Structure 1
Amino acid sequence: MQRFKNILFVCDEQSAYELALDRVVWLATANDAAVTLVSTIDSGGANDVSKLFSMIPGLGNQEIGETIIAVHRAKLDERATTLRDKGIAVDTKLLIGTPFIEIIRQVIKGRHDLVIKGAHRAAGRRFFPGADMHLLRKCPCPIWVLNAATEPKSQRILVAVDPDSENTGRDSLNQTLMELATSLARADGAKLDVMNVWRLQEEATLRHGLSSILDNDIDRLVSTAQNDSKARLKALVSGFSEFDDLMRVLHIKGVAGDVIPEHVAAEGIDTIVMGTLTRTGVAGLFIGNTAETILNHVSCSVLTAKAPGFATPIGTGAAGGLN
C-alpha cells in the first residue's frame, strides 16, 4: 500500500469514522502521507442551516449558523489532534453543501489520491446507501469504505478481476487491483482470493430449443471461452508470484453479480477489492452494473478503484468549504 500520499479522511457524523482511524494512521505512517480531515454540513450554506432553527426564541439565524459551524470545526480539530499526536501532517476542511458533491470537489481541488470513510451509521439501511453509492459512482480516486467487523486488520480479502489484455484500460485497472489487494494482504497477514467469474455470453439462448446450433458446437464455444479466460487470468497473476503463499486463484463459471456475493457470505470475506467501470459513452455517470449489484448485496469493507480515463461529472463549482 505504498501508493497513497494525499489521503482524504471523511469524519462526518453519518460515517463511522472511528472504524477507519487505525487504517488512516497506518497508511499515513507507512507512506509518509498527508491527511485532510473533512466533515460535512448537509446544506446549501450556513444560512440555510440556521433557517432550520428559526423557531427557537431569542436566537437569530446568523448566530445559530455560526454556532453549528463552530461546533463542527471544534470536532474536526479534536479528531485531527489524535493524528497530529502520532506525528501525522493533518489539515482540516469543513464542507457545506451536498456531502458527496463537496467531498468529490475537495478530492479534485486537493488532488487527493484516496478517500477513506467509515460505513454509514444508520441502522436498518443498506450498507451502501444512496449518498455513499453516489460517491462510489462519481469520485475519481480510489475509495475505501470500512466496516466495523474487519478492522483494524483484514483476515480474508477478495479481489475481483476481469483480465483482458486487448483492453488497455481494463488491463491497467486489473494490475492496480492486484497491487492493492496483494499489498494489503501482505501488510495484514490476510488470505487473498483472486476471483475471475467467466461465462459464454448468451449460452442459454444458444441452447434454447429454437436455436439451430448443435450442442457440440456450443460446447466448443464454451470450452474456448473458458480456456481463453483462464489463460488471461494466469497471465495476470503470474506477475504476483511473490504472494503465492497468501493467494488462492479462483476461476468460476457464472454471473459475477451472483457468484461474488455468495462467495463473500460463504467464505467470511471481510474486504473486497474491486474496480468500477463506466458505461461506454457516458463517462463518469454510472458505476458498472456488475459492481453496483455486488455492492448492494455485501456488508463488508470495500476498496474500489476506477479505470484509467475516468471523468467525474462533478465540477469544482463554487467554493463550498471552510478552512
Structure 2
Amino acid sequence: MDIGKILVNLEHGKDSSLILEKALRLAEGSGAKVELFCCCYNASLRNSYLLDKESLLRAEHGYMHRVEAELEQLTGPFEELNIEIDLDLCWQRHKAEAVVRKVLRFQPDIVLHPIEQHSRLGHYIFDQSDWQLIRECPVPLLLVKQKAWSDGGHVAAAVDPFHECDTPGVLDVSILEWARRMVQTLEGDLKVMHSFNVLPHSAIFDEHLVTDFEGMQRKVRAEHVAALGALLEPYGLTTDSPAVTLKEKETHQAILEYVDEAHIDILVVGAVARGLLDRILVGSTIERILDQLHADLLVVKPPEFVSSITE
C-alpha cells in the first residue's frame, strides 16, 4: 500500500523548514496529499482578564487568521510540484488530543511531528503532549528531529522476533512493511536490526547451566538467528545479508550504537500499550532512546490499536 495522505503537525512560532522539506520529499515520492495542521492555542491571550467574552472570541479568531496567513506562505514548494496541499487550524488547549482528533477526521497514513532540540549539546525536549501523542496516535507517527536526511534515505527496521519487549508478533510485520514503504518512497535502502541479550555468567544459578554456559550462549544465538531468518524470508533477506545486523547487548544500547554506525535517517520501531506502573518501573525502549537517537523515529502501533481519545 502506498502513502496516500500525510498530516504535518506544525508548531506555530517554530522553524518548520526541515519538517516541511521532509514532508515534501515523502509527498513527491508517493504522490500523497498533504495537510498542514496547527493547534494555535495561545494561553496568554486566553488568560487575559482585560477582555470580555465577545472581545476574547474576536481576538482568538484574529489570531487564528494571522496564523493561517503565515501557513499559507509555506505551501508554495508543494504547489510548484503539483502536490495537493491543504491547511487546517484549531484552537484547543490540549495539543496531543487535537492532533489525534484531526487524525480520526482526516485519516492520514502517516503523521509528521516535530521534536524540538533545546541545547547546543544536541539534547531534545519532550513535553507531556509529545509523550501523549506517541502513546495515543492511531497511525504511524514520524518524530522529526533537526537532522537532514541523506540523498538516498537510509531506513532501518528494529524488529524483535522473540517478543522480548512484549511486542505482538504481527507488529514486526507492520514494522517491516512500513520500513519498506518508506524505502520505496524515498528511493533508499532497507536495513534491519535485531538485538538480544544472553544472561551474564554471574546471573546463572543453575549448576547444570553454569557448567555449559558457552553451550547455552550458542543455543540462544542460534535461536535468535533462526527466528530472525524466518521473519525476513518473505522480504528476500537472510541473516547473512549485509543489510541485516544482529547485536548482542541491551536493546536501547544496541539501537543507539547501530543508528550511528549505519548512518540511519529513519528508524522504524514498534510501540505497544503498557500499564502505568510497568512504564514507570521498566520504561519503554522509545523513552530510553528518543533523546539520544541521531535519527528520526517512526513509531508503528499494532493493527488492532485503538486510541483512548475519540472525536
TM-score, length of structure 1 as denominator length: 0.78
Q: Are 1:100 and 2:89 counterparts?
A: no
What does residue 149 of structure 2 align with?
A: 151
The residue type paired with residue 104 of structure 2 is: I
What does residue 237 of structure 1 align with?
A: 232
Structure 1 residues 137 and 34: alpha-carbon distance in aligned structure 2, compared to 1, 3 A threshold = same
Moved more, 219-228 or 147-156: 147-156
What does residue 50 of structure 1 align with?
A: 45
Q: Are 1:11 and 2:6 counterparts?
A: no
What does residue 259 of structure 2 align with?
A: 264
- Give SS of 2:40's match: strand
Structure 1 runs not aligned, ≥5 long? 317-323
- Give SS of 1:42's match: coil
- Give SS of 1:278's match: coil
Q: Offset at 1:152?
A: 6.3
Q: Are 1:73 and 2:45 counterparts?
A: no
Counterpart Cα distance in 2 of 1:9 and 1:62: 27
What does residue 171 of structure 2 align with?
A: 173
RMSD of equivalent CA atoms = 3.7
Counterpart Cα distance in 1 of 2:13 and 2:126: 12
What does residue 311 of structure 1 align with?
A: 306
Q: Offset at 1:234?
A: 1.0
Q: Offset at 1:311?
A: 2.3
Q: Are 1:115 and 2:114 counterparts?
A: no
Q: Deviations over 1:34-84 (max 9, x none)?
A: 2221011235xxxx653445569xx95344323211111212333235423
The residue type paired with residue 301 of structure 1 is: D
- What are the residue-to-residue correspondences of 1:177-192 with 2, within 5 Å? 177-185=175-183, 187-188=185-186, 190-192=188-190
Q: Is this contact kept in 2: 1:161–1:195, CA < 8 A?
A: yes
TM-score, length of structure 2 as denominator length: 0.80
What does residue 31 of structure 2 align with?
A: 32
- Give SS of 1:65's match: helix
Structure 1 residues 64 and 183: alpha-carbon distance in aligned structure 2, compared to 1, 3 A threshold = closer
Q: Are 1:126 and 2:124 counterparts?
A: yes
Structure 1 residues 49 and 4: alpha-carbon distance in aligned structure 2, compared to 1, 3 A threshold = farther
Structure 1 residues 60 and 308: alpha-carbon distance in aligned structure 2, compared to 1, 3 A threshold = closer
Structure 1 residues 202 and 16: alpha-carbon distance in aligned structure 2, compared to 1, 3 A threshold = farther
- What are the residue-to-residue correspondences of 1:284-295 with 2, within 5 Å? 289-295=284-290
Counterpart Cα distance in 1 of 2:60 and 2:161: 51
- Give SS of 1:94's match: strand
Pairs aligned (count): 304
Q: Offset at 1:164?
A: 4.4
Counterpart Cα distance in 2 of 1:146 and 1:314: 23
Counterpart Cα distance in 2 of 1:42 and 1:222: 55
Q: Deviations over 1:271-296 (max 9, x none)?
A: 211111222799x99x9712221213
The residue type paired with residue 273 of structure 2 is: T
What does residue 205 of structure 1 align with?
A: 203
- Give SS of 1:97's match: coil
Counterpart Cα distance in 1 of 2:127 and 2:237: 38
Structure 2 runs not aligned, ≥5 long? none
Query: After the TM superposition, which parts of structure 1 deviate over 6 Å for at least 4 consecutive aligned residues?
Result: none
Q: Is this contact kept in 2: 1:10–1:117, CA < 8 A?
A: yes
